[in-house]
Amino acid sequence: MKKRYTDEQIIDILRETRGCQTTAELCLKYGISEATYYNWRTKFGEKRQEIELRLKALEKENNELRKLLALSLLDNVALRDKLARE
């Protein structure tokens, strides 16, 4: 039976090749031919890199926003304390 994989699933499968698995083992695990694997790698290789770069940028932005939120919360607590004393 022929399986269909989403783009995200294909990218995850391609990521697994970074481990110690050989291409043949990976193909056997997912029931795909080596030709399919290499076609996916050609098609999604660049896309995967773009996604990973975007992910890193989003993670960096997320960390910066968390720091700003923490500072805002500290300012908020300080202002509430000051208001309560008055």
Domain count, the chain: 1
User: Average pLDDT for residues 37-59, to the nearest whole number?
Assistant: 85
Residue 2, in any domain of the structure: no
Residue 75, in any domain of the structure: yes
Q: CB-hemisphere CA count at 13 Å for 66?
A: 6
CB of 18 within 8 A of CB of 26?
Answer: no
Question: Taking the CB of residue 10, how many other CB atoms lie within 10 A of it?
Answer: 21
Tokens, residue 46: 């660049």
Residue 1 in this model has a pLDDT that exceeds 60: no
Residue 80, in any domain of the structure: yes
Residue 78 in this model has a pLDDT that exceeds 70: yes
Residue 1, in any domain of the structure: no
Q: Domain range holding 31? A: 7-85
Task: Say what the pTM is.
Answer: 0.51
Question: Taking the CB of residue 5, how many other CB atoms lie within 10 A of it?
Answer: 14
